[in-house]
Structure 1
C-alpha cells in the first residue's frame, strides 16, 4: 500500500475560531487602520499613469473644471482602480473561504486549480476567434473553475484526506490545464496575442462595461459568504463536532466552494489570473491574531481578507509603476508583482515552518514487496518499451522512414535525403531519452530525501532557475546559439538550487521547509520569466513558451553529451546510496541511529538530483511531471526499495519523454507540440487515476 492508499488522518484546521468574545475595540481599530491604508494606497494609485496628469491636476477637479484631467480619470485611471478594488475583494474572500473549508493555509484559487480552469476556458474560446461579453465569459470561466475545483476536491475527499493529498491533486490538475492553455497559445499565436500577459493578471481596462456586469455577482457572493461566517466558525472545530452541533457539513462545503469559485472566476474574467492574492491576504490577516483576538472569526476574517486583498493588488500596481514608470502599468501584468510578493511571503512563512513529524509519511513507504523474478520481468518489459519508443521515435516525424531505411542509415548506406533526416532526428531522440531518465532518477531521489510525494526536481526551484536563465539570454541576446542557451540554463538551475537550499537551512535541513521554499522560488521564478517576456519581447512569446514547454527541436549531439555524462557519473552514485535513501524515507531518527550522516547525505543526494535536472533542462528545456510520475509508477510496480525503483523509474522516464516527443513531432506535423506539454497531458490522467483509485481506501481504512 502506497502513501496515496494509506489511511489519512484529517489534519487540524488552519486556525479554529477561538472561544469567547472578540475584543471589539481592537477589531474596530484594525478595520479603521486597514481602510485608512486602503484610502491612501488608492489615492496614490489615482495619481499614476502614462499621461502628464498629476496630483495637483486631480485636486483642481474638486475646485474647478479640468477637462483633460477628467477625461484621463474617467477613461483610464478610475477603471483601473475599480478593477483592482473588485478583484482584490473577490480573491481575498475566495482565498479565506477555500482555506477554511480545506483546513489548509496553502489552499487558494491558484493551488486548487480554480484559476487554471477558468483561464483555460476563456483562452479556449479566444483561440477560435470568439469574443464574448463579460457575463457569458464569466459564466464560462465559472464552469471551468468549478470543474477543476470539483475534480481536485473529489480526489482529495473534500480536503479531509490531508494537506498533502489536496495540494498534490491541485498541483497535478493545474499543471495539466496550464499545459493545454500553453498549447493553445502556441498553436493559435495570432488569435491569442496579448493573452499571455493577460494570463498573468493585468489591470488594464478600456471601460467600465465588464466591471459593471461582474460587480453585482461579486458583491452578492461576498454578502452570502459573510452570512455563512457562523457556519464556517463551527466547521473549523472539525467535521465531527460540527455534525454534532447540527451543521450540514457537506452542504456547507459545497455552497462555500461554489461561492469561492464564482468569485475567482469573476476575477479571472475581469483581469486574468492574479497570482497569490487569495493565498496571501488571509495569511496576513491571520498573523494579526496575537494583537487582535477574534480575528479568526469568519465574519471578521472574510471582510479583512477582502480589504487586505485590495491593498495587495493596488499596492503592487503602485509599486510597479513607481519603480518602472507609468508605461509599465500597461506593459507588465500586475499579477507578476503580486506573485513575487506572494512568493516572498511563502518563503518567509516556510522559514518559520517546522517539520510535520508523524503526519508526513514516506512516498511509497508501504508499497507491496515484490519478488526478484517479478522485478526482473518489470525491468525487461520497461527496457523493451524504451527500445520500442526509441525505434518509433527514429521512424516517425514529419518525414516517415521505414525500418530498412533505419538499418541502412546505421550501416551508412542510405541516400542523401534519408541521411539528412535521420542525422537531424537522432539527437532529438537521444535528448528525450536521456533527459527523461535523468529527470526520473532526480525525482526519485528528491522524493526519498523529502519524504513527500509532492516533491519533484521542479519543486526545488531548479526548473524555474533554468528557465529564467534561458529566457534572459534569449531576450537580451536574440542571436545566442543553442549551446549558449543550454549553458546559461544549467548555470541558472544550479544557482536556484543553491539559493533554495541555503534558505531552507536553519540549524539543519527541514524537508517540509525545503519543499515550501522551493515552491515559492518556483513561482517567483515563473513571475520573473513572465516579466522578461512581456517587458522586453512581448511580440515573440512563442520563442520563450516553446523552450519553457520543453522541446527537443534543433538539438545537437553536443547538447546531449552533458546529460549522458551526468547519468553515467551520478546515477551509480545514487544507486550506491540506495540503503541511505531507503532509511531516509522512514524518518530522521532511524538513519542517525544506524550511523548515517543525515545532513551530508541529504546535501549530496539533492546536489546529484540538481545536477541531473540542470543538465536535462539545459538539453531539452523545462519538462514537468516526469520526475513526479515515473517514481510513483515504479514504486507501484516493484515496491519501495530504491535498488529496484531507480532502474525502473529511469526506464519509465526515458520512455515517457521519448513517446511524448514522438507524438509532438508527428500528430500535427509539420507543426510541433513541445514534449513538455505532451508529458503533462500523458502523465496527468495516470496521476488523477491513481489518486481517484486510492480515494475509497483513504476514506475507508482497513
Structure 2
C-alpha cells in the first residue's frame, strides 16, 4: 500500500465483487468478529474489584449475585461499551477520511480533527459554559469540522500528496494544541483532569453516553453503508465518478461531515484517542490486497469498525494486564493506543517501497536571489533581533526603560533594576539560543531529507529529548541540570537513530521518513504523558510547562549546553552549505560530483541532533520553530544555504524571543510558556505559506 494515494479500485472489481462475496472475505470477517468478541470477554473480566472471570461466567449462566451484577453494571459494562463505540467511530471515520481524500495518511489525527474537537471542549469548560452531552458532541463537531476543513483546504483536499496533507495537519494541530495547553494552564481549576483526559480515557461513570451516542453513531455508520456504492465509485477518480452519475462534491462533503461527526462523538466519550483512526483502516487495507472484495466500502467500513474495536479494547486489556487494574485507572487508554499505533506505523513504513515518481521529493530550485537582496534581508533580521532583545529585556511583569538597560550594561543600575535584569537576561538569552538551534536543526534536516515536513519536533527528536529529560526528572527527582541535559541528549540520540536508521534503510523515501517520524514522535509524547500521570498525576502544570517550552527560572548555567552546541555545529554546517544545496536536489547529483552522501548526511544529522538535544535541555520542548523558520528563510532569500542558514537562524531566534516576551508580558504577572506563543505566532504564517503555495500550483 502506497501512502501517497490510495489504490484506485478497478471498475470490474466493483461491479463483480458484490455478486459473489468470496470465501476468503467471509472467513476474514468471521475471524475478526470472533477475535473481537474474545477480547471483549477478556476485557469485562478485568477491573479493580475482586470480581473475576468465574464470577462473570456465573452471572451469564444465571447466578443471582447482586454484588457481581452491581460491579459489572456500574463499571465493567460502561467501560466496555465505551471502547466499542470509540473503536467503531474512529475506525469508520478514518477509513472514510482516507477514501474521500484518496490519501492513506488521512485520519482524525492527521486532519487535526481530534485537536480541534479537544480544543473546543476545553474552551467550553474553561469559560464555565455548561452544555448537555449531545451539546458537547456539537461543540466537538464544530471544532473538528473547522480543523478538517482548514487542513483539507490548505492541502488541496489531500490529493496533492501525503507530505502536504500531514504538513498542513501538523501545523493546525500544533496551533490548536498550543491554544488548548494555554487554556489548561490559565484555567487550571475549571479544566481540572482534562490533561490526562486529553490522551483518551475509557473510564465512565455510567451508561448515559452509550444511551445517547450509540444511536447517533449507529445512524451515521448506517448512512455511510448506504452510500458505500458512491464511495466505491469515488475511488475511480472525479471524472469517471461523474460519468457514472455521482455528484462528487456533495458526496465528499457529506462523507467528511459524517466522519468528523463520528470523531467528535468519540472525543466526547473518551477524549482524543490517538492513532486508531489511522491504524485500523491501514491494517484492513493491507488485508484487502490479499482478500478479494474487502476493498469495497460496504466491507471496508464494517471491517474497519471491528478493527477499531479490537485496537481500543486490546490496548485497554494490555494496559491493565501489564501494570494492574488499580494503576491503570490513572493511565489514559489513548497513551497505549498511541504507542502501539506508532509502532505499527513504523513497521508499516519500514515495509514500504517506492511505487513511482509521485513519491519522490520535489526538486529544489537553487536560482540565486537578486544581488544584494539576501544580504539586505540578513541585515534587517539582525536589526529586528536586536530590537527583540531590547524588548525582551525591558518588558515583563516589571517595565523598564532604555536608561535602565544602559545603566545595567555599564554596572550602574540600582538593586531593583539589577535584580530584574539578572533574572530576565538568562531568559532572553535562552530563548535566542533555543530558537537559533531549532531553526538550524530544521534547516539541516529538511535539506538532507529533501522533505519540507522534516523538523526536530515532528520527526521525534524533540520528543525523544523531552522523554529522556523527564525520565531523569522522574527517576531522580534531585537530579541537577547537567544530568537532565544528559538525559535529553541521550533521548534525542536514540530517537534520531531509530528514525533515520529506519527511514534511510534501502534508500531515502520521503513517505517512509514522514511515517517513521510521526510514529516515533507520537510514541515519545505518549511516553511523556505516561510518565507524568503515573508518577505525578496531580501536577499537570509541570507537565504542560515542560511540554510547551518555558524559559522560567533559567540561569546562566542553562545557556552553556546550547552555546557549546552552536559553537561546535555552526562552523560545520556553514562549511557544508554547498553540500546541502546538492543534497536538497536529488540523490544522484551529489554522488556524480564526488560527494560522499552517507558521510555528509551523518555529519549533518548528528549536528542537528546535538542542536535539538541542547535546546530541549535548555528550555523544554518547543515545536514549530524548525518547521517555520527554514520555510520563511527560503521564501525570503531563496534555497541556497549560504544565505538560507543565517536567515533561518535569525528568524528562529526572533520567533522564540518574541514568543517568550509576549508570554511574560501579555497576562503579567501570570506567564505563558514560550512554546505556546511560538506555535501561535508561527501557525498563521505557515498557514498563509501553504495557502500561497497552493495557489501557485
Q: Is the 8 A contact 1:89 1:306 kept in 2?
A: yes
Q: Is the 8 A contact 1:138 1:265 kept in 2?
A: yes
TM-score between the two structures when normalised by the length of structure 2: 0.96
Q: Which residue of 1 aligns with 2:572?
A: 573
Q: Which residue of 1 aligns with 2:350?
A: 351
Distance 1:485 1:132 in 2: 43
Paired residue secondary structure (2:696): helix
Q: Which residue of 1 aligns with 2:39?
A: 41
Q: Which runs of 5 or more residues in structure 1 are unaligned? A: 1-9
Distance 2:511 2:143 in 1: 31
Tell me: CA distance 1:690–1:333, structure 2 relative to 1, closer, same or farther (3 Å). same
**Comparing 457-466 with 175-184, which one deviates more in the overlay?**
457-466
Distance 1:676 1:694 in 2: 26
Structural mapping, 1:446-595, within 5 Å: 446-595=445-594
- The one-character-per-residue Cα deviations of 1:525-560 (angstroms, maximum 9, x if unpaired) are 111111111111100011121011001111111211
Paired residue secondary structure (1:107): coil
Q: Which residue of 2 aligns with 1:660?
A: 659
Q: Is the 8 A contact 2:4 2:511 kept in 1?
A: no
Distance 1:361 1:384 in 2: 39
Q: Does residue 1:51 correspond to 2:49, yes or no? A: yes
Distance 2:203 2:270 in 1: 8
Distance 1:554 1:355 in 2: 48
- The one-character-per-residue Cα deviations of 1:220-259 (angstroms, maximum 9, x if unpaired) are 1101111111111111112222223222211111011000
**Comparing 507-516 with 652-661, which one deviates more in the overlay?**
507-516
Q: Is the 8 A contact 2:4 2:104 kept in 1?
A: no
Q: CA deviation at 1:471?
A: 1.9
Q: CA deviation at 1:500?
A: 2.2
- The one-character-per-residue Cα deviations of 1:595-637 (angstroms, maximum 9, x if unpaired) are 1111111111111111111111111111111111011111111
Q: CA deviation at 1:378?
A: 0.5
Q: Which residue of 2 aligns with 1:313?
A: 312
Structural mapping, 1:416-427, within 5 Å: 416-427=415-426
Tell me: CA distance 1:283–1:122, structure 2 relative to 1, closer, same or farther (3 Å). same
Tell me: CA distance 1:628–1:263, structure 2 relative to 1, closer, same or farther (3 Å). same
**Comparing 125-134 with 170-179, which one deviates more in the overlay?**
125-134
Q: Is the 8 A contact 2:429 2:559 kept in 1?
A: yes
Q: Does residue 1:264 correspond to 2:257, yes or no? A: no
Q: Which residue of 2 aligns with 1:27?
A: 25
Tell me: CA distance 1:426–1:363, structure 2 relative to 1, closer, same or farther (3 Å). farther
Distance 1:509 1:612 in 2: 23
Distance 2:239 2:444 in 1: 39
Distance 2:30 2:256 in 1: 29
Distance 1:19 1:580 in 2: 50
Q: Is the 8 A contact 2:11 2:236 kept in 1?
A: no
Structural mapping, 1:207-226, within 5 Å: 207-226=206-225
Distance 1:500 1:19 in 2: 40
Distance 2:465 2:393 in 1: 28
Q: Which runs of 5 or more residues in structure 2 are unaligned? A: none
Structural mapping, 1:615-626, within 5 Å: 615-626=614-625
Structural mapping, 1:314-329, within 5 Å: 314-329=313-328
Q: CA deviation at 1:594?
A: 1.2
Q: Which residue of 2 aligns with 1:7?
A: none
Q: CA deviation at 1:697?
A: 2.5
Q: Does residue 1:401 correspond to 2:400, yes or no? A: yes
Q: Which residue of 2 aligns with 1:277?
A: 276
Q: Which residue of 1 aligns with 2:679?
A: 680
Distance 1:538 1:18 in 2: 54
- The one-character-per-residue Cα deviations of 1:366-417 (angstroms, maximum 9, x if unpaired) are 3764123111111110110001001111111111111111111111111111
Q: Is the 8 A contact 2:5 2:161 kept in 1?
A: no
Q: Which residue of 2 aligns with 1:16?
A: 9
Q: Is the 8 A contact 2:112 2:170 kept in 1?
A: yes
Q: CA deviation at 1:563?
A: 1.1
Q: Is the 8 A contact 1:458 1:522 kept in 2?
A: yes
Q: CA deviation at 1:272?
A: 0.4
Q: CA deviation at 1:645?
A: 0.4
Tell me: CA distance 1:546–1:413, structure 2 relative to 1, closer, same or farther (3 Å). same
Aligned residue pair count: 689
Q: Is the 8 A contact 1:18 1:296 kept in 2?
A: no
Paired residue secondary structure (1:109): coil
Paired residue secondary structure (2:594): coil
**Comparing 273-282 with 329-338, which one deviates more in the overlay?**
329-338
Distance 1:459 1:44 in 2: 36
Distance 2:226 2:117 in 1: 26
- The one-character-per-residue Cα deviations of 1:88-122 (angstroms, maximum 9, x if unpaired) are 01111000001111111111000100010000000
Distance 2:354 2:568 in 1: 32
Q: Which residue of 2 aligns with 1:115?
A: 114
- The one-character-per-residue Cα deviations of 1:188-225 (angstroms, maximum 9, x if unpaired) are 12222211111111000001112211111100110111
Tell me: CA distance 1:506–1:268, structure 2 relative to 1, closer, same or farther (3 Å). same
Q: Is the 8 A contact 1:361 1:586 kept in 2?
A: no
Q: Does residue 1:627 correspond to 2:626, yes or no? A: yes
Distance 1:605 1:240 in 2: 46
Paired residue secondary structure (1:176): helix
Q: Which residue of 1 aligns with 2:377?
A: 378
Q: CA deviation at 1:39?
A: 1.0
- The one-character-per-residue Cα deviations of 1:256-295 (angstroms, maximum 9, x if unpaired) are 1000000000000011011100111111111212431121
Q: Is the 8 A contact 2:4 2:359 kept in 1?
A: no
Q: Is the 8 A contact 1:470 1:485 kept in 2?
A: yes
Q: Is the 8 A contact 2:439 2:625 kept in 1?
A: yes
Q: Which residue of 2 aligns with 1:439?
A: 438
Paired residue secondary structure (2:12): coil
**Comparing 287-296 with 613-622, which one deviates more in the overlay?**
287-296
- The one-character-per-residue Cα deviations of 1:334-379 (angstroms, maximum 9, x if unpaired) are 1111101110111001111234763356678237641231111111
- The one-character-per-residue Cα deviations of 1:394-452 (angstroms, maximum 9, x if unpaired) are 11111111111111111111111111111111111111111111111111111111111
